[in-house]
Chains A and B, each alone.
Chain A
Amino acid sequence: MDNPLGTSPDEVQFRFREDEVADHATVTVDSCCDQTNATAVRIEPGDDARVLLPFLDRLALVEVNFPGFADGRGYSAARILREAGYTGELRAVGDVLIDQLSHMRRCGFDAFAPDKPLDEEDAARAFATWGNVYQRADDTSGGRRKTIAELRHD
């Protein structure tokens, strides 16, 4: 393996995309800025996701690493990329657990590669936790989903 950092397609347990699973070796945020041909990158909690904004067009996969589930910086990273129009795969990797899935999904993650595989049934229930939502987030952008306040005043 030339890149011990990246997850492989078969580690992806949940995916909400129609396209082929991107099988790219990911590079760090720093090398992504230097290497003009990199198409996959991995964000660590301390990285500034905005550094990637000039390169979004060429990226097909962004992995956001959660070394510990209680470090919530990756949620902001995900939203920042989606707000900037990134449409490629956004994969949550690392210490990804059942109870973070619904929030991660709302922030724009559409693929999940947990360190330890999760119980499929528990996960299905977790993804469906919120029938409706209070806040605007990635899932409400482009009219895909209405917030509760919008439903109230429809």
Chain B
Amino acid sequence: MYQYDQYDQAMVDARVEEFRDQARRRLEGKLTEDQFKPLRLMNGLYLQLHAYMLRVAIPYGTLNSRQMTALGDIADKYDRGYGHFTTRQNIQYNWIKLEDAADILADLAKVEMHAIQTSGNCIRNISSDHFAGATFDELVDPRPYAELLRQWSSFHPEFTYLPRKFKICVIASERDRAAMRLHDIGIQIVKNEAGEIGARFFVGGGMGRTPMIAPMIRNFVPLDQLITYAEACLRVYNRYGRRDNKYKARIKILVHELGKEEYTRQVEEEFAHMLDIGVEPPREELARIAEHFADPTFEYGPKTVDRSDPDFALWVDRNTHRHKHDSYVSAVISLKPVGGIPGDATGEQMRLMAQLAKRYSFDEIRIMHTQNVVLPHVQIVNLPALWSELDAAGLGAPNMDTIEDMIACPGLDYCALANARSIPLAQRISEAFDASGKTEKLGELKLKISGCINACGHHHAGHIGILGVDKKGVENYQLSLGGSEAEDVSLAKITGPGFTEDGVIEAVEKVTDVYLARKEGEERFLDTYRRIGMEPFKEALYG
């Protein structure tokens, strides 16, 4: 995995010093809160309902055991003993004191980490496939391109005061495990007919109050023009993205209002100009970065394992993913124990995951956008030992991609913008389905909950989505069906009038019953919905 050289380290150190200086000037009254706000935001410091929240970047979701240990230590030292992994493959601490912020950033810098550009109207942390570099089905490892983009987008002098935040995602397989087309820019690394590797650009996706699927604007950008093309996309946005209305400021609105053709035309014009100017890093830089992502030395070993323990066998079936080396798998550590807070881990659990990564996964860890953790390279022969340690620590839930593997935003328990609570609802749903034993029968079913229209919980992209709305001061929940953030991307449709908290749990029961009754063959919930349409579900809910 990527390691800082003296230049990268100096950049992060410079930023810590800059932030210390900003905090000093704020305390000396030289900066107003209005002036300080965008600066603290660019360093990941949000003001929430009860305290400051610090969001730490985990570039393309990859980290090593030393970094994971540091995250656990920060949870214990500066927070209340836990941290929250997010849908952007980052971690958030919900109970931070402003006075501690600079010290936390300094602790992070010691392990090559930071909170740079994790909020604010700038290019945010780049996300990627959580199985990158390990999965059987990828063309190449997408992370070198993500790292190239990370360096380009860090402290970009022109794009630090964009109309709105900007999220980029890079994947390199046909399967989309990173919600690529729901990003401001989604990049898929592809091979063209001549056998060359290049980048396919999708621009203008996003969730929030106006969800949109990014259209493709360029089929193939040669790799030695990748940064140049991204720069052209951003410049057009920086100049013409709407700044009159915060809710219309994302690039998806610009692409939508101009039309894909006109936006593309402007980008191509800017791109041609920039090719003349020359903004691309030297070609050798990509090669240098790629060396950091070379495969570890895989060893041959057994390809099967004793499955006589049914609990273990279930976990293997649910929580492992096929590896490019057939003696290995990628193992998913679920942060969705029944009745738990989706995505939360204690400091102690983080340190344990770090140790396990060191022992069983070449020191590598990934964070999934579904708020779980991956050990990407586990030898099949080591699975029983890994599983028993995870299970003992409450980290062995066998529920990846099931209804219990919910995404839920912080909601009204933490967030100042929330209409309704998300976490308690998620907890109750997982308890109900676990108790009735229906989870297993339902198979792959992606349920996603947001506490308000900002859609941090990806509800538009849920096979089942739940959105908290405020109905005359009472928490109310809207149900939607048919969304997907995978390669078969689609936006969910609202079923009809909303429900109370109890009512929405009952409604989820009802729609899953419709599925079980109407399912044909190997269909997933989503497939059945697509085949039979909304009516049968509406009938069951409101009929």
Q: Which residues of A contact B (CB under 8 A)?
A: 45, 48, 69-73, 75-76, 79, 83, 97-100, 102-104, 106-107, 119, 122, 125, 129-137, 141, 147-153
Question: Which single residue of chain A is at the shortest CB-CB distance from B7?
Answer: A148
Binds A, one of B10-18, B171-179, B185-193, B493-501: B10-18
Beyond A136-B279, A148-B151, A153-B282, whether A129 also contacts B158 by CB under 8 A is no
Most interface-central of B10, B157, B243 (chain A CB within 10 A): B157
Alpha-carbon separation in the docked complex, A151 to B269 (Å): 30
Beyond A99-B39, A135-B157, whether A150 also contacts B238 by CB under 8 A is no
**Nearest chain B CB to A94's CB is how many angstroms away?**
13
**Of the residues B243, B279, B285, contact of A71 by C-beta under 8 Å:** B243
**Nearest chain A CB to B60's CB is how many angstroms away?**
17
**Of the residues B11, B25, B35, B157, contact of A107 by C-beta under 8 Å:** B157
**Nearest chain A CB to B173's CB is how many angstroms away?**
27
**Nearest chain B CB to A1's CB is how many angstroms away?**
29
Question: Which single residue of chain B is at the shortest CB-CB distance from A72?
Answer: B161
Question: Which single residue of chain B is at the shortest CB-CB distance from A45?
Answer: B243
Establish whether residues A72 and B160, one from each chain, have CB atoms under 8 Å apart when the complex forms.
Answer: yes
Chain B residues positioned under 8 Å from A150 (CB to CB): 281-282
Chain B residues positioned under 8 Å from A137 (CB to CB): 157-158
0 or 1 for each of B275-292: is its CB under 8 Å from A? (1 = yes): 001111110110010000
Chain B residues positioned under 8 Å from A97 (CB to CB): 35
Alpha-carbon separation in the docked complex, A150 to B156 (Å): 17
Establish whether residues A129 and B18, one from each chain, have CB atoms under 8 Å apart when the complex forms.
Answer: yes
Alpha-carbon separation in the docked complex, A93 to B368 (Å): 44
Most interface-central of A122, A136, A137, A149 (chain B CB within 10 A): A149
Establish whether residues B158 and A132, one from each chain, have CB atoms under 8 Å apart when the complex forms.
Answer: no
Establish whether residues A72 and B162, one from each chain, have CB atoms under 8 Å apart when the complex forms.
Answer: yes
Provide a sorted-by-A list of 19 A–B residue pairs whose CB atoms are within 8 angstroms: A48-B239, A69-B35, A75-B161, A79-B158, A98-B25, A103-B155, A103-B157, A122-B25, A129-B18, A132-B7, A134-B152, A134-B154, A134-B155, A136-B278, A137-B157, A141-B277, A147-B281, A149-B281, A152-B288
Given A102-B157, A153-B284, 17 further pairs, Cβ under 8 A = A70-B121, A72-B159, A75-B157, A75-B161, A99-B18, A104-B157, A122-B30, A130-B11, A131-B14, A134-B151, A135-B157, A136-B278, A137-B157, A148-B151, A150-B281, A152-B285, A153-B282
Question: Which single residue of chain A is at the shortest CB-CB distance from B10?
Answer: A131
**Of the residues B7, B18, B38, B155, contact of A152 by C-beta under 8 Å:** B7
Alpha-carbon separation in the docked complex, A148 to B14 (Å): 14
Alpha-carbon separation in the docked complex, A103 to B155 (Å): 8
Beyond A97-B35, A136-B278, A137-B157, whether A149 also contacts B238 by CB under 8 A is no
User: Interface on chain B toward A: helix, strand, loop, or mixed SS?
Assistant: helix
0 or 1 for each of B144-167: is its CB under 8 Å from A? (1 = yes): 000000011011111111100000
Alpha-carbon separation in the docked complex, A75 to B25 (Å): 25
Beyond A107-B157, A107-B158, A137-B157, whether A70 also contacts B288 by CB under 8 A is no
CB of B273 within 8 Å of the partner chain: yes
Chain B residues positioned under 8 Å from A99 (CB to CB): 18, 22, 39
Chain A residues positioned under 8 Å from B39 (CB to CB): 99
Establish whether residues A83 and B277, one from each chain, have CB atoms under 8 Å apart when the complex forms.
Answer: yes
Chain B residues positioned under 8 Å from A132 (CB to CB): 7, 10-11
Chain A residues positioned under 8 Å from B7 (CB to CB): 132, 148, 151-152
Establish whether residues B282 and A76, one from each chain, have CB atoms under 8 Å apart when the complex forms.
Answer: no
0 or 1 for each of B223-240: is its CB under 8 Å from A? (1 = yes): 000000000000100110
